[in-house]
Amino acid sequence: MKYIILLVGKETHMIKATKIAISLPAEDLKRIEKIRKESGEQRSFLIDTAIRFWLDNREKQKMVEQYEERYRHQPESINEVKAMEELSADAFIEEGLK
């Protein structure tokens, strides 16, 4: 097991890294290699970044789906919609938009 340094903003974190073997379509590897050469980053970093992006988006998509499912079972009432319309109208007026 080796450790890698992960930079998050200005913070540095050491995390355990596990080596794995994966199979990719040749065209995908060519695209990754092109990006790697252009960016100067390591292949592992690029693939890890892509996986983290995918995982984060997957979690966000699940949250959206849960929200939509709950909304289908309990949408806003007419009174809630009217209250939001009034608040929106007030906000436009405060911003000088009519």
Task: Give the integer Cα–Cα distance in Å for 43 and 4.
Answer: 14
Write out the chain's pLDDT in tens, 98 residues: 566 666 666 666 667 778 889 999 999 999 999 999 999 998 988 998 999 999 999 999 999 999 999 988 888 889 999 999 999 998 888 888 76
Please tell me the total number of residues recorded for the chain in this structure. 98
14 belongs to a structural domain: no
Instruction: Determine, yes or no, domain membership for 83.
Output: yes
**Is residue 13 in some structural domain?**
no
Tokens 């009034």, residue located: 86
Radius of gyration, CA atoms only, the chain: 23
User: Would you state the pLDDT for residue 71?
Assistant: 86
73: left (phi over 0), alpha (psi -120 to 50) or beta: alpha
20 is a domain residue: no
Domain count, the chain: 1
Q: Which helix (H) or strand (E) holds 28?
A: helix 26-39
Residue 15 domain-assigned (yes or no): no
Instruction: For residue 53, give its domain range.
Output: 35-98
- Domain annotation covers residue 46: yes
10 within domain boundaries: no
**pLDDT at res. 1:** 59
Task: Give the global pTM.
Answer: 0.57
39 belongs to a structural domain = yes
